[in-house]
Structure 1
Amino acid sequence: MKKIVITRKINPTMIQKLEKDFEVVVWNEAEKPMPRERFLEETSDAHGVLAMLSDKVDEEMLSNAQNLKVVANLAVGYDNIDLESARAHKVIITNTPDVLTETTAELAFTLMLTSARRVLEANRQLMAGEWSGWSPYHMAGTDIFGKTVGIFGMGSIGAAFARRLSGFRTKVLYHNRSQSELGDSLGAEFVSFDDLLSASDFILCAAPLTDETKYRFDKAAFERMKESAFFINIGRGAHVVEEDLAEAVEQGQIRGAALDVFENEPIGKDHPFVGMDNMTLLPHIGSASVDTRNNMMNLCVNNVMEVLNGGKPITPVK
């Protein structure tokens, strides 16, 4: 019987679906990743793996897993996977595109609204019993209506975010590796990276992490942004030089930032972003709705089953 390793606790119905035809090993910690040593041990004789972003699928793991045929990554991104090594070992890699697009775009919009209107800061003040009453500029935030919003990465999530802006009568700019028909069809304007930085009141980073996009938002980038601008990141933490962002916010080079992703996750209380009033921070919950996570898990399970039953993957990473 072929063996499948699932590196985090998932919906029991998905596991039962696999157990009809496969030996299934599940790491039953919902919040903690499978330890590396255990991951290497369990996958050494596995035929399929349902992996998380926290699992490093690299040459060490792949060369140790001689029976491995498929790794289904529970994410759209796959920067945790060495694709070159996977191809060399003839292991199929799949991801979960499309099923989390709308949910992640909603979270991006939530971050923008929350940051602009100082929602968390105001809530903390009220809950601490420090609200002394109304005054003209008390917790005065920033309007989104009529502003210019820049999108770095006009893929499906960037486009879903852009669609949501239509009711706010914003001007939408975007920068991409190349001009996007999807972006153009939404009335967004394709601009250079420098123009995106200098013209936008809000900048959303929704790009995949590549060699070209890694650390793209650094000290020089933040210096080109408006002092009144907000930076929002739902892509990957490594798009940003975090020390430079902390300095930019602290020194008022930009108005604030709202982040769902960080370079090294999870972050703790000692992270420089924690405790800053003009930082809105979330623990990587972009796709975290019950329906969406179930759909992602189901897609992963179906990808693994298709490959191990001799079929073609549904959503292979090219």
Structure 2
Amino acid sequence: MIVHYVAVLLLVGVALPASCLAHSTMTKNLKVLVSSNDFPASGLKVLEEHFTVLQTKYLNFGEEGRTLAKEDLLKLIPGCSALVWSSNLPISKELLDRAGPQLKLVATVSAGYNHCNLDELRARGIKLSNTPNVLSSAVAEIAVGLMLGAARRFTENLEQVHKGEWEIGFDKVLGQDIRGSTVGIVGLGGIGQAVVKRLAGFEVDKFIYSGHREKPEGKALGAEFVTQDQLLERSDFIVLAVPLTNETRHMINKDTLAKMKSNAILINIGRGDLVDQDALYDALKNKQIYGAGLDVTTPEPLPKDHKLLTLPNLFVLPHIGSATVRTRSDMGVLAANNVVNALTGKALITPVNL
């Protein structure tokens, strides 16, 4: 907008100070690389108002991301001051090496950042931003959907529909109620709080949560702070809403699954590696717990012949937590505004502490 304004003033013959002209073109000399061809137009617009934007012509997901996009990004990134990373593929040391010392920021278009190679960024003095909060509502809605899907046995019931063979009877394919249940939230951050808010109308008996410390938001929501073991032992629904770190990797494993109630339903909206999937398979197959609902898995996509997909008491979605038009646009704009701040000497809006 500043550049356009200056251009209009010059067109009508208004003289401008040299300092103003220099400021209007200063950031246009900075290059910003966008890692995928599907980055939201709303975010691109913000970037293009300030910088010279380079964007790969390829999708930076799946096999295309691992091959064509990777090679294209390696060609485009030299001399770039910021990288907007729209992908769950790892940011490689090779890519950072190719960028050069002027790279100041990696702006990942996601709440999670386990793919961002924190050690390399820290060592190089490169800042990192993410896009939390703007996706909390959408992800929380998927969490509620997974709870319903697993509790009401959607996998089995949809199979009946597809086969055209419905089990008729008053006691057939009965599920469990959210009403009257105890819901445990592992990680009462923005997403965890949004889950509690959306469950307010479901007549949940008790909300409990675990984490590093008790939060004032928990009291405001009527949720009780408990230890993780207490949460596992008491909850009918267990919602994983924490980032993937060394501390949380495989936090759900053979031992923690053994602490859950036999009617417990596990919901994962965080990252696939929060859960030891082999242990989860055994627990579901042996009916050690009642069911599970996953929006995230390891790997992604989950192969169609994966053993988890043979289980009738597992409801799986293909990582669509933030997949709404509004949310993805908001994520793109937030990532872009983080770049604007980083390259104009302002504080990041949503910095990741390295």
1:286 aligns with 321
Does the 8 Å contact 1:152/1:203 carry over to 2? yes
Judging changes above 3 Å, is the alpha-carbon distance between structure 1 residues 109 and 193 closer, same or farther for their aligned structure 2 residues? same
1:2 aligns with 30
Does the 8 Å contact 2:46/2:337 carry over to 1? no
Give the partner amino acid of 2:58: N
1:165 aligns with 199
2:299 aligns with 264
After superposition, residues 215-230 of structure 1 pair within 5 angstroms as 215-230=250-265
Cα distance, 1:307 vs structure 2: 2.1
Does the 8 Å contact 1:151/1:204 carry over to 2? yes
Does the 8 Å contact 2:56/2:72 carry over to 1? no
Q: Residues of 2 paired with 1:16 and 1:302: CA distance?
A: 11
Cα distance, 1:199 vs structure 2: 1.0
1:180 aligns with 215
Q: Residues of 1 paired with 2:306 and 2:93: CA distance?
A: 31
Give the partner amino acid of 2:191: I
Cα distance, 1:110 vs structure 2: 0.8
Q: Secondary structure at the match of 2:308?
A: coil
Range that drifts further, 273-282 or 56-65: 56-65
After superposition, residues 86-105 of structure 1 pair within 5 angstroms as 86-105=121-140
Deviation per residue, 1:70-114 (Å, 9 max, x gap): 111011111111223213212121111211111111110111011
Task: Give the greater-gyration-radius structure (CA).
Answer: 2
Judging changes above 3 Å, is the alpha-carbon distance between structure 1 residues 103 and 23 closer, same or farther for their aligned structure 2 residues? closer
Judging changes above 3 Å, is the alpha-carbon distance between structure 1 residues 74 and 103 closer, same or farther for their aligned structure 2 residues? same
What is the RMSD of the two structures over their aligned residues, measured on CA atoms? 1.9
Does the 8 Å contact 1:7/1:34 carry over to 2? no
1:298 aligns with 333
Q: Secondary structure at the match of 2:65?
A: coil
Judging changes above 3 Å, is the alpha-carbon distance between structure 1 residues 46 and 55 closer, same or farther for their aligned structure 2 residues? farther
Identical amino acids, percent of aligned pairs: 38
Does the 8 Å contact 1:217/1:239 carry over to 2? yes
Give the partner amino acid of 1:124: E
Q: Secondary structure at the match of 2:309?
A: coil
Judging changes above 3 Å, is the alpha-carbon distance between structure 1 residues 52 and 25 closer, same or farther for their aligned structure 2 residues? closer
Deviation per residue, 1:154-196 (Å, 9 max, x gap): 1111111112233223211111112222112211111111111
Deviation per residue, 1:244-287 (Å, 9 max, x gap): 00110001111111001113222211222113211110111111
After superposition, residues 1-318 of structure 1 pair within 5 angstroms as 1-8=29-36, 9-20=38-49, 21-29=51-59, 32=62, 34-35=65-66, 36-66=70-100, 67-131=102-166, 134-167=168-201, 168-318=203-353
Q: Residues of 2 paired with 1:37 and 1:55: CA distance?
A: 14
Judging changes above 3 Å, is the alpha-carbon distance between structure 1 residues 57 and 31 closer, same or farther for their aligned structure 2 residues? closer
Cα distance, 1:31 vs structure 2: 5.3
Q: Secondary structure at the match of 1:215?
A: coil
Does the 8 Å contact 2:42/2:329 carry over to 1? no
Cα distance, 1:3 vs structure 2: 2.2
Give the partner amino acid of 2:297: F
Q: Residues of 1 paired with 2:89 and 2:106: CA distance?
A: 11
Does the 8 Å contact 2:151/2:175 carry over to 1? yes
Give the partner amino acid of 1:146: G
Higher helix share: 2
Q: Residues of 2 paired with 1:49 and 1:208: CA distance?
A: 22
Give the partner amino acid of 2:228: F
Deviation per residue, 1:189-231 (Å, 9 max, x gap): 1111111111111100101112221111000111111111110
Give the partner amino acid of 2:82: G
TM-score, reference length from structure 2: 0.84
Q: Secondary structure at the match of 2:155?
A: helix
Cα distance, 1:16 vs structure 2: 4.1
Structure 1: 4+ residue segments shifted above 6 A: none
Give the partner amino acid of 1:43: I
Does the 8 Å contact 1:3/1:25 carry over to 2? no
Q: Secondary structure at the match of 1:115?
A: helix
Q: Residues of 1 paired with 2:255 and 2:132: CA distance?
A: 32
Q: Secondary structure at the match of 1:34?
A: helix
Q: Residues of 1 paired with 2:265 and 2:81: CA distance?
A: 45
Cα distance, 1:124 vs structure 2: 2.1
